[in-house]
Homo-oligomer: A and B are copies of this chain.
Amino acid sequence: MTKFFTALFLLIGIVSMQAQTLQSPDKNLTLTFSLTPNGVPVYELSYKNKPVIKTSNLGIETKDVPSFLEGFSMKDSKTSTFDETWQPVWGEQKDIRNHYNELAVTIEQKSVQNRHIIIKFRLFNDGLGFRYEFPEQPNLTYFVIKEEKTQFALAGNHKAFWLPGDFDTQEYSTVTSRLSEVRGKMKEAITPNASQFPFSPTGLQTPLMMKSEDGLYINIHEAALIDYACLSLELDDKTMVFNAFLTPDAQGNKGYLQAPTKTPWRTIVVSDDARNILASKLILNLNEPTKYEDVSWIKPVKYIGVWWEMITGKSSWAYTDLPSVKLGEIDYTKTKRNPKHAANTENVKNHIDFASKHGFDAVLVEGWNEGWEDWFGKSKDFVFDFVTPYPDFDVKYLNEYAASKNVKLMMHHETSGSVRNYERHMDKAYQFMVDNGYNSVKSGYVGNIIPRGEYHYGQWMVNHYLHAITKAAEYKIMVNAHEAIRPTGLSRTYPNLIGNESARGTEFESFGGNNPDHTTILPFTRLMGGPMDYTPGIFQTQIKEFNPDNTSFVHTTLAKQLALYVTMYSPLQMAADLPENYNKHLDAFQFIKDVAIDWDESYILEAEPGDYITIARKAKGKNEWFVGGITDENKRTATVDFSFLPKGKTFEAIVYGDAKNADYINNPQAYEIKKIKVTSKTKLKQNLATSGGFAISVK
């Protein structure tokens, strides 16, 4: 009897509520918004009549004022269409079309002095974005978020490519499993990290990539995350409903807002073709156009660095072996130098020579500044000052030498998570860069955050990361922030954010290795929000060759390392290996030298998350094309359809592929380079080894 009533009640509810429907421009996607009989806002989304998101609640639970959860009635509803094409400062394509239909519903809570909010939906051909807006009104100004109550009710027990939800790190291996298996696999998935706080046995991170049994690819993330906590998802694995889970602050609160204001966009990219997920520009489109009037100083960067030798344990960041130091009190000129200190003038000079010889833009140097002796894990407040070089690093000389070689030095600001200290020194640190010829900085946030109790992904830190970016812009400095919040398309608005880490990068190849499928997943997950400083290009995959203490090996073939320059889009690309290793394979190295880092157009040729990706791109302003193809632990034969080439013309292509006997474990360095002729009609079959790949340059 109870059940019957419930059903009847719902039926009446559905009839009585004013459902609003919106279609994507191509009509493949349909969004429905409505209010339940209790006045709870709900939405649902379908793709070609297949359910993507079933009826799901919307709302915000607050701490100090009545919540935005129920008791809403319809006040107003507006639809509109938008269609423009814009040009990014840098990107995968020179023109980006921003085409959507919009539904903005204004709903009010009569019981709360007619307080009203707007829920804004933008429906693109490739997916949905929606956000909450809190207009200026007499009875709503300041409020504290207890939890965002957005739901994503899935239509099935999808296959998911997931990371454990965590307030402090995204540096986990991706687990591929059914959603129902998440709980069982969680414990194993939580591998150690320098700073971590997994929040739930079914908590997952975004971007979350899923595939339904009926072949729909669904990606959930967020866009334009500004001064708000990071969105994670907590799965109800009985109902397959995801509930939003925001990162809290030191007191457990999730956000402090002042109307008029708005949340970030919640995004759902959908297609029945995996290639469309990679091609989606929905997240960029949901961000605001750039706020900078002058962007001429923002340029893609190809670089090498004094870095891999420390990551692999061959060299050291610290100048001494002292167990602890106090900046301003220690006189390093009176200490004993560790001969393994890599950031010394001679070594950097050699790197500048190599960069200059091979046409790189910049040389990153880590470990150049005082304080590395006890930088990590000590909850140390004043750990770096960002302006004082170790005695063996002659910053003035190196700046002049680099300039004479037409190379830039790339700054490194490791904060050790001590962000008050970084903000205190930020102006002087950026000015030091300007004074010494640096125009880009790799910043780092390793370890627990100070102020203690804050997390990497809470509102406090989200605010900080953007502060670091906008202040850098005042100095015309480009930022590549590691361990920072994963990107949400903000580089459209702040294009000096040219890179982020926020996932397991190549460094983990030195810490036991990344899974062979790792880079076949990242473009569907981490890269959805923006480029990653993945630092590919490791030729000497056996690290013990130069550091016998390190038995890790890179879990790819050499040829796959080349392919990553195309498959892992970034305006910032490192050739991460040691110059000595490149000198042994200058023929293969030629591809890294040649490959573009900014593009007129991109063509997703083949893609299946966790299995393979093949992408072609046309270099910005040049008749040059580059193709990259990778596979997971399985061999495969890729098909490169060259129809993206201009018709009726023959081009010379250089193909860098796995040799026949190549294998990522036993024979990773076996590659073949061959020259072939291609036209727009060519369909090249290319064999890939286990965790193999290929790269092609076309001129």
Which A residues lie at the B interface, using CB under 8 A? 138, 141-142, 144, 249-251, 253, 256, 258-259, 323-324, 326, 374, 378-381, 420, 423-424, 427, 451-454, 460, 463, 467
Contacts and interface: CB of A to CB of B under 8 A. Distances in A.
Given A142-B324, A251-B452, A451-B460, 8 more contacts: A141-B324, A142-B374, A142-B380, A256-B379, A258-B326, A258-B378, A423-B423, A423-B424
A650 B352 CA distance: 83
A408 to B, nearest CB: 26
A381 B250 contact: no
Contact of A250 (B259, B378, B380, B451): B451
Given A423-B423, A427-B427, A142 B378 contact: yes
Nearest to A464: B420
A420 B423 CA distance: 9
Contacts of A453: 249-251, 453
In the complex, the 5 A-B pairs of residues with the closest C-beta atoms, listed nearest first: A451-B451, A250-B453, A250-B250, A141-B324, A142-B378
Contact of A144 (B141, B142, B379, B460): B379
Contacts of A381: 256, 463
A249 B452 contact: yes
A448 to B, nearest CB: 10
Contacts of A463: 381
30 contacts: A138-B323, A141-B374, A142-B324, A142-B378, A142-B379, A142-B380, A144-B379, A249-B452, A250-B250, A250-B251, A250-B451, A250-B453, A251-B452, A251-B453, A253-B452, A256-B379, A256-B380, A258-B326, A258-B378, A258-B380, A259-B324, A381-B463, A420-B423, A423-B423, A423-B424, A424-B467, A427-B427, A451-B451, A451-B454, A451-B460
A141 B452 contact: no
A436 B451 CA distance: 34
Contacts of A379: 142, 144, 256
Contacts of A460: 451
B452 A258 contact: no
A250 B427 contact: no
A302 B423 CA distance: 35
A246 to B, nearest CB: 15
A13 B453 CA distance: 44
A249 B420 CA distance: 15
Contacts of A374: 141-142
B250 A452 contact: yes
A420 B468 CA distance: 13
Nearest to A323: B141
Contacts of A454: 451
Contacts of A256: 379-381
